[in-house]
Chain A
Amino acid sequence: MPRSRRAAFTLLETLFASSLFAAITVGLLAFSSTAVRMIARNLATNHTHEIVRTSDQQLLHDLHDSGSPFRLVNFDGITYSDATVSATASADEQSQKLISTRANGVRFRRLLGGPYPFAANATSSARDITLVPAGAALAQVGDKITIPLISREFDISAVPNVPVGTITISDPAGLGFSIDATTAGNITTAYIYREVAYTVFNNELRYHKNYTGAAKASYSVLRRSVTSPKPFALLYPSATAATDGLNLRVSLEAYDGDYTARRFSNGTVTLQTVIPPRTLPTPVSSTN
């Protein structure tokens, strides 16, 4: 049998093929590493963007809806306390007003329900008022009730619900006006406002739907990967003037550390804005 002249590769062919294979392998590995990094960066960037975008939408919706001025609060992991704020030397770029000392929480009042018609007459000195049952069913101690007809607001100190629909206001002088709710054609309505709060702790943006008494410790986590420790501040018109509490400055920083521990340039997104209640003057004059 004749021996083939090309029965095996020459040394040169083998070396060339090996070199080529090695070069391609190294190239693909390098590309693979770069591709993984780019994909991770893309995920981090998009996720951080999504955190900030949805947080912005939620904050805009709820803070625009505020029925009272804003009050800053601090949470240290155990205790929620009102923050003592004052103007700093830093001027907000967007409004040119002075930024207060920062806090990691803000509380305000939101409309819980209404209008609820009065279901019974009330005298000027009355502390018990009777609404339609649906109103009293929602109310709790610590809520506020506003009665637009007489332009007054009261703290709710008890909800006896006897007779059905009855709530008690804290003002010892009573309503200050007589309400005739039974004459045909007379309709007097009331609105109930509850205190709510946003806090940032442990890299979470939290919403407290009932920031009252022991219930204030209950919250729902809106977003994670929030990295700014104290995102909230109020604005002062000058170093000596008081704040009206109607402009909440938000500086919410987010970085997605869930997808990757790498520190990507431009992976951090900071939302910087000032949000006021949309209804001014606010229906409830005092957050407390």
Chain B
Amino acid sequence: MHRPGSSAAFTLVEVAVAGALLVVLVAALAVSMTQINRWATAAGLHTLALALTQQRIDEVLTTGWNLRTGPPPILTPGLVTETGLSLNSDAFNTQSGLGSSFTSLSSAVSATRRTQITFLSARTVRAAVTVSFVFRGRTYTTNLTTLRASDDI
């Protein structure tokens, strides 16, 4: 039998605490999902940065190097820094017939590529390529290193 004055229902304080907990939980989930999406985008950019790094390594490995004529410009000793490289978009794809209805969705992120060429001997060099980019205030970096010998002995 119901007794008058007993706590058969939630009090206002209980409801308020439960509501506050729910709000905190929902807010935490929303923040988490937003962060997960940022990480997903960053992971995609990281793959593209690796491709940009790989392109320079390929260039180092395949540009002709004849010992008699000297190393090609790409193998000049020292550090070369390129800034403002498009990471996740191709500006030319906005031209007619080269893009799609999705081309414009990308927010351009640019990268900086550093190529350090070091001569280990007269016919052997080491190339260290680093590509870095900033996304949402955080800096991401990829590195690849390779050795290259001249084409002829």
Which residues of A line the B interface, CB within 8 A? 4-6, 20, 24, 27-28, 31, 34-35, 38-39, 41-42, 45-46, 48-49, 52-53, 56, 60, 64, 90, 93-95, 99, 102, 227-230, 246, 251, 253, 255, 257, 263-278, 280
Contact = CB atoms under 8 A, between A and B. Distances in A.
B100 interface: yes
Contacts of B34: 38
Contact of A4 (B4, B23, B41): B4
A265 B105 contact: yes
18 contacts: A35-B33, A38-B30, A49-B47, A94-B85, A95-B59, A99-B92, A227-B100, A229-B100, A230-B98, A251-B90, A253-B99, A253-B100, A253-B103, A257-B102, A266-B106, A268-B88, A270-B89, A270-B106
Given A45-B37, A56-B51, A273-B52, 8 more contacts: A42-B33, A229-B99, A255-B105, A263-B105, A265-B105, A270-B93, A272-B51, A273-B51
B44 interface: yes
B67 interface: no
A270 B88 contact: yes
Contacts of A277: 62
A275 B23 CA distance: 51
A-B residue pairs, 4 tightest by C-beta: A49-B44, A255-B102, A227-B100, A38-B33
Contacts of A253: 90, 93, 99-100, 102-103
A273 B55 contact: yes
B75 to A, nearest CB: 15
A257 to B, nearest CB: 8
B35 to A, nearest CB: 10
Interface of B: 2, 4, 15, 19, 22-23, 26, 29-30, 33-34, 36-37, 40-41, 43-44, 47-48, 51-52, 54-56, 58-59, 61-62, 64, 85-86, 88-90, 92-93, 97-103, 105-107
Contacts, number: 145
Contact of B48 (A46, A52, A265, A278): A52
Contacts of A42: 33, 36-37, 40
B98 A228 contact: yes
Nearest to A255: B102
Contacts of B48: 52, 269-272
A112 to B, nearest CB: 23
Nearest to A60: B54
A104 to B, nearest CB: 10
Contact of A38 (B37, B102, B103): B37
A121 B52 CA distance: 50
B105 A266 contact: yes
Contacts of A268: 88-89, 102-103, 105-106
B37 A275 contact: no
A179 to B, nearest CB: 27
Contacts of A53: 47
Given A53-B47, A265-B105, A229 B98 contact: yes
A273 B90 CA distance: 10
- Central interface residue in B56, B106, B107, by most chain A CB within 10 Å: B106
Given A20-B15, A49-B47, A269 B97 contact: no
Contacts of B47: 49, 52-53, 56
A50 B100 CA distance: 19
Contacts of B102: 227, 253, 255, 257, 263, 267-268
A31 B29 contact: yes
Contact of B43 (A49, A229, A275): A49
A46 to B, nearest CB: 5
Given A45-B44, A227-B102, A270-B90, A94 B52 contact: yes
Contacts of A230: 97-98
A35 B58 CA distance: 42
Contacts of A34: 30
Contacts of A27: 23, 26
B41 A102 contact: no
Nearest to B32: A38
